[in-house]
Amino acid sequence: MKIVVGLGNPGPKYIKTRHNVGFMVVERLAEKLGIKVESKRFHALAGEEVVNGENLLLVKPLTYVNESGRTVKELQKNYSCPLDSIMVICDDLNLPLGKLRIRRKGSSGGHNGLESIISHLESEDFPRLRIGIGHPPHGEAREYVLSPFLKGEGEVLEEGLERACEALLEWMREGIEVCMKRFN
């Protein structure tokens, strides 16, 4: 089984914000694979389907980004799956808009959602796909991540979301090493 968890904040207020790129990737992948992500369980919306002979669970936590660890811990416990089968997708302020960074494991890098997951799992040993949202030109990072993308950023964002979906499918087929070599 593979579990893909896209981080974001629930509710219409946050739909198009930078902090919700994880949700955006899950929604795009679900659309491509014909998976409905609407079942409420584990404090999340989830959808499950067999893809290329393997169960795939797509998840959008409803706990807000900073409390995502609760959902991921419940998923890991309920499905008894190894941590390397759970891919977390999140935004990254330190990457240019649309750029991907995939890692097998690592620190939170200051991302509160990843910090919550690390705390709940008591481990940094899970893969993550970070999507660049760019650095705030001025002002506070908190305001920036909760702001919508600008009109001129749409094309670069779309390319990043598309590459993220390709990377996730590659991860499922070939594993994390091949995925990192191809998409980093």
Identify the CATH number of the domain in which residue 127 sits: 3.40.50.1470
- pLDDT, tens only, 103-123: 999 999 999 999 999 999 999
The backbone torsions φ and ψ at residue 149, rounded to the nearest 5 degrees and listed phi first, read: -70, 150
- pLDDT, tens only, 21-34: 999 999 999 999 99
- Active site residue: 19, 43, 120, 138, which one? 19
AA letter at 154: G
pLDDT at residue 138, rounded to an integer: 78
Place 165 in a pLDDT band, splitting at 50, 70 and 90: very high
Q: Strand, helix or coil at 8?
A: coil
19 annotated active-site = yes
With 0.85 as the threshold, say if the pTM is over it: yes
Q: Which residue range forms the structural domain that includes residue 155?
A: 2-183
- pLDDT, tens only, 35-54: 999 999 999 999 999 998 89
Distance CA 18, CA 147 (A): 6
Mean pLDDT of 116-143: 93
Which of the 8 DSSP states describes residue 87?
E
Position 142 pLDDT exceeds 90? no
Q: How many domains does the chain have?
A: 1
Mean pLDDT of 65-93: 96
pLDDT at residue 52, rounded to an integer: 85
